[in-house]
Structures are given as C-alpha cells and as structure tokens.
Amino acid sequence: MRLIIAEKPSLARAIADALPGGVRREDGALHAGDSVVTWCLGHLLEQAPPDAYDPVYKQWRLDHLPILPSRWQLIPRPKARGQLATIRKLLKQAREVVHAGDPDREGQLLVQEVIEHLGWKGPVARLLISDLNRPAVQRALARLEDNARYQPLYRAAESRARADWLYGINLTRAWTLTGRQAGHDGVLSVGRVQTPVLGLVVRRDAEIRDFRPYPFYVLWADLAVANGQLRAWWQPAENHRLDDQGRLLERAPAEALAARLPGAEGRLTALETRQKRQAAPLPYSLSALQVDAARRFGLSAQAVLDICQRLYERHKLITYPRSDCRYLPEEHLAQAHATLSSACGQDETLREWFAGADFTLRSKAWDDRKVGAHHALAPTGKPAELERLERAEADVFRLIARNVLAQFYPPLIAREVKAEFTILDERFRASGQELLQPGWKPLFTTREEAPPLPAMREGEPCRVEACSVEDRETRPPEPFTDASLIKAMMNIARYVDDPEVKRTLREHDGLGTEATRAGIIETLIERGYLVRQNKTLRATRLGSGLIASLPEAASRPERTALWEQRLAGIAERNDDPAPFLTALIEDLRQLLGSADAGRLRQAMATAQGEAASVAKRRAASGKGRRGRSAPSRARRRPKRSA
C-alpha cells in the first residue's frame, strides 16, 4: 500500500480524486486503488513546554532562565491525537510513503515531523502541488521527487521552530516576571518577529506624536509659451532660508518676487526630454497582493490570506497562495492562452482584458531561474463564475488574473519632459508626461492622465500670465495600515540605519514570511499591543510600554531579518543549523541580562502619560488630526493673492 500524507483534508480530497479508481472514506483516510490518502490538520505536533523537560519549569522563575533543551521534544496537539493514531496505524501497513505537504517551509515541516516522530524508516517521496484541479494534481503525481532533496528546507523550518521557542519562552517569561515586579499583572509576550513588527508601529506613532509642523511657502507662475500655457514653480536660491528639502521658510522673498512677476518675460533655458518604457507589474506574491488589496478594497492582510485560501482550496480557481515568488514557470507559458481563456470567459471585465491580450508577447515573468518551491499566484484555468463568489473573493480573483493577463500587454511608453525657465534672473521649473502608448496601464486604472506640457524648444520666450504664493505646512508621517505594514515587513532594509546591514538585507530582506505576516498583525491586535482605528494600525499603551522596556536590539528589525537570512542559507545552501542556534542563544543571554523592573515601570508610566497627553490635545482641538504622509507632503492654507 502506498500512503500519501497531505497537509490538510482539502488537499487529501484533491489527491484522492486524481487517483485511478473509486474513492471510499474510512477511518480518517481516503482509499483509492492501491493508494491511501490521509492528512494532517495543520501541525499535529508542537514543541513540548518547558515542564516536559523538567517539572521544575512549571513555575515561572527568573533564576531558571534561560531554559535550553538539550534534546528537543515534540508532543501531540490536544485535538490531534486521533488523527495521529490513524497515521501511525497506516504507516505500519505502508510499503512506501509520499509526503504531500504544501510547497513551502512550514508544509515541509509539519508532514515530515509526523513521519519522523512516528518512526518511519523507509524512503519518502515528495509530492508538490500548487493547483488543486484534477489535471494539475495528476501531473504532479506523475512527477514525484525524492523527499531527501527537501531536507535542507525541513532543517530550516525545524530551526525556525526551535528559535521561536527559545526566544519566545525565555523572553516572555523574563518580561512577564519583571512586569510583575513593576506592578503589571498579565503576560508580556515577546516574539522573535512580532516584537520588531510592534517596534515599527511604536516608532511610527512616536514620530507622529512628536512631529512639530512648520510653515513653508511656494510660488507658482502660469506661463504663456508659443504652443500653449503651463504652470512652473519657483526654485529659490540658497541665499534664502530653506529647509533640508529646499523649501522656502519665509514668505517675504516669495511675495516680493510675485509682485514683480505679472507680465514679466523670460526664456526656456533648459529642456530635457526622455522616453520612459515601463513593463507591466509582475504577477503577485501573497504579500504584494495583500498590499494592493488593502489599498484598493480596504481588506486586512488576514482577510486577503483567508480569501486566497478559499479561492485555492474551496473554489480551485488559483494556484497555491502562500507564495513569496512573483515569477512563473516557463512551461506554463505554452498553456497560458488556454488557461486564461477558460478562467476569464465568464466575467465581462476579465473577458475584455483577455480580448486585448497579445499571447505572442513574452514578459520577464516567465523565468525558471527565479521560481523555487512555488511560483506566483495565477488562475488555474477553472472557469470563474464570479457572480457565485463573495464580492471580496471576486475582487481578489480579478486582481490575480489581471496581473497575469498584463504580461501579455505591451509596455507603457511615455515621454517625460522637464523644463527650466529663467524669469527676472530667477529659476522656474515645470515637468510633465505625455502618454505615447498606454500598454498595460488601462488594466490598472481608469484615471485620466494630467495633460502634457505643450511642445517647446530650448530658447523660446515665455510670459507670466498669473502667479500666486501659497502657504503650506509640513505633515507628519502616515500611521501604518495593513498595506503599509506588510510592505514594511517585505522591505525591512528601509527601516535599518546601519549601512552594512542595510546593504546585506537588500538581497534577502523581510520580517516574517508570506504565510505568517498577516497572522503576526492579528496576533499583536489579539494580545492588546495594536489596535485598528478605521484603516490605521496604532500601538496601545501596553504595546508602547513593552517596546520602551525592551533593549532596542529586541524591538528593531535588524537581528530578526538577519536570522531570516541564516534560515534561507540553511534552506537554499544546506548550511549547518547549529551556528544559527548557537548565535541565537548568545543573543538571548544578553537580552535576558537587560530585564529590569525599574525600566519597565518607568516605560509603562511614560506610555500612559503620553497617551493621556495625546487624548488631551485631541479633546482640546475637538478632533484628532489625521496624518497623510511623510514630512515632504504638505497641507495647503487658503491662498493669498500675489
């Protein structure tokens, strides 16, 4: 008997349906011919608690820390014992075993740890499925691989699980016990990934809270040129009082120039024109999809993940969703026309996009060198009856299909123009863009482009028709949203100060994984560290106090992102996991040594005071101020005539 162990029941059903012969269910398994398909229910096993290693650890005490298992143990999850017993019985009858976990790090771990825990000593084949439709599953069954090839992926996942246990158990106990000494009654949870993510939000909130706006002034002039009119902006010289972004900090010079401008004549002294060619955005990874769906539809990262799981498992409309890849296998290109024709045929919008596609084109998205265990999200080819889906499911499916269809559209081609005028010995600049070929752009927006600058030639005269000085004010950074926090987790190098670390992280940056990022945000909310305010994510007093009480290294992304690099090295280059865990334990000892009740008490008091101060300011102003973006964005005051 061949035993196939799937990650979850939905995958087991898809595999059984693709096998020859009828399918019958019996005792937690599906029988099809000479094969039996059984399943896990997510993780059937979990890391043993500290008291499994020594009963003395049942009591939380600082002098027990750090707790460092010498021989790691796994125990069954409470609700998994029955299914684990089923798999044990089937293994005893099996002549061969097939590992059918999801094609990612966690999928490799959760099936393989069961096989090893139950003592199977024979060979194991690996079945990789990213599309649950029957033809795709049958193709995958015909291409079984040796599971030994995926041992590095398993070791990386195992190392991640042990690292999370060491970090979470020891630091959570240390800060909870220290919190009790400081008067805080409750668990203070510290995690290898969740705490740096919380740190990002806390620091952003502090930037917003501490931001002090200041005014600046801009002067524009409407210029008549030979072929029309345009608006240009004054570029004040350095002898004026400017901020570090070149913005004018006093109104008088702008007013003085504005008084002289009406009717003044000048010349176009510099003209730069260049043609820009832009390829379509790549197909989606999960995180990239979460960012776009949050911006376009206001969906949380967890909602997008849940929708994708339903589109994959229940509706079988998309390929495996928990992917960090934005490229597609080259073999899929030949079937793309048939796949997309079938997938898009029952929706008016998708039919229109499909009709405009040119399947003789080939984009850079088709690249086997950039496809790992899984590829970008894509339609499976099953006809999509979107009217039978929930609205959010249909919206997300259209996004996924659109980004694949866009690979068969020509590039966007535009002409960018930058013009500099000299008027009254002062410089004025204008810029514009002319769309020469829209290419893929209409699939992404229906917004009309701003009119291009009129045709001009260097040296031609201009005349000021109107002008005005505008009062503006700097604005604080935007609060994080699901979209911007996911994007920050994807591109964590932007939030790192150390130039050496920043350079290293650009190649393999990222906090968390595609499969865990949404869950990290939800966990922080459930534990009371973050709260959603409309679409924004803000730190609570508890979250801010926890970050302030921790050593900075524990709440910043550098260490965790570098750990993810080490895990990638184990998975991709077969690096030895031992140095990774040894370095982690050394870090852990240093962090434990910095737990301090006085610092934590002060941090909580400061956070409470800051929260009260913000509430008082909001009450005084009548409403909370809503930030827009980085300080370079500005709020306009009412115009004053020049």
Q: Write out the residue limits of the CATH 2.70.20.10 domain(s) in the chain.
A: 215-279+414-474
Q: Are 512 and 305 in contact (CB under 8 A)?
A: no
The two structure tokens encoding residue 159: 């190392």
Q: What is the mean pLDDT of each run of 10 residues along the chain (642 residues)?
A: 93 92 87 93 94 96 95 93 94 95 88 96 93 89 95 94 95 95 91 94 96 97 97 95 94 97 97 96 96 94 96 94 91 94 95 97 93 88 94 97 98 96 97 94 83 94 97 96 93 82 70 87 95 94 94 88 84 89 93 90 80 57 42 40 30
- 10 Å CB burial of residue 413 (0-12, 13-18, 19+) is middle
DSSP letter at 626? Answer: -
Which residues on adjacent β-strands are paired with residue 640? 469
What superfamily would CATH give domain 158-210+477-621? Topoisomerase I, domain 2 (1.10.460.10)
pLDDT confidence of residue 374: 80
Kindly name the residue from 150, 167, 320, 409 that is annotated as catalytic. Answer: 320
In three-state form (DSSP H/G/I as H, E/B as E, the rest C), the secondary structure along 316-384 is CCECCCCCCCCCECHHHCCCHHHHHHHHHCCCHHHHHHHHCCCCCCCCCCECHHHCCCCCCCCECCCCC
Q: Looking at the domain that runs over 215-279+414-474, which CATH code has it been given?
A: 2.70.20.10
Q: Write out the residue limits of the CATH 3.40.50.140 domain(s) in the chain.
A: 2-143
- d(CA 76, CA 82) in angstroms, rounded, equals 10
Task: Give one word for 285, left, alpha or beta, with left for phi > 0 and alpha for psi -120 to 50.
Answer: beta
- d(CA 354, CA 375) in angstroms, rounded, equals 22
Q: Check the CA dihedral 92-93-98-99 and report its sign.
A: negative
Residue 451: partners with Cβ closer than 8 Å, 6 or more residues away: 432
pLDDT confidence of residue 629: 36
The two structure tokens encoding residue 384: 């999509």
pLDDT confidence of residue 511: 83
pLDDT confidence of residue 436: 95
- d(CA 302, CA 323) in angstroms, rounded, equals 15
Residue 188: partners with Cβ closer than 8 Å, 6 or more residues away: 172, 175, 176, 178, 179, 546
pLDDT confidence of residue 445: 85
pLDDT confidence of residue 628: 36
Q: Is 150 a catalytic residue?
A: no
Helices (H) and strands (E) counted in the chain, each on its own, are: 21, 20
Which single residue is written with the structure tokens 């050593």?
Answer: 551
CA 369 remoteness from chain centre: 22
pLDDT confidence of residue 608: 74
pLDDT confidence of residue 449: 73
Q: Looking at the domain that runs over 299-408, which CATH code has it been given?
A: 1.10.290.10
- d(CA 414, CA 394) in angstroms, rounded, equals 32
Strand order in the sheet with 35-39: 23-25, 29-32, 35-39, 2-6, 96-100, 124-126, 145-146
Which string of DSSP letters, residue by residue, matches 172-221?
A: HHHHHHHHHHTT--S-----TTHHHHHHHHHHHHHHHHH----EEEEEEE
Closest by CA position to 489, among listed 290, 279, 633: 290
Q: Are 188 and 176 in contact (CB under 8 A)?
A: yes
Residue 493: partners with Cβ closer than 8 Å, 6 or more residues away: 502, 505, 506, 509, 561
pLDDT confidence of residue 616: 60
Closest by CA position to 93, among listed 46, 26, 18, 15: 26
Q: Write out the residue limits of the CATH 1.10.290.10 domain(s) in the chain.
A: 299-408
In CATH, 2-143 is 3.40.50.970: no
Q: Write out the residue limits of the CATH 1.10.460.10 domain(s) in the chain.
A: 158-210+477-621
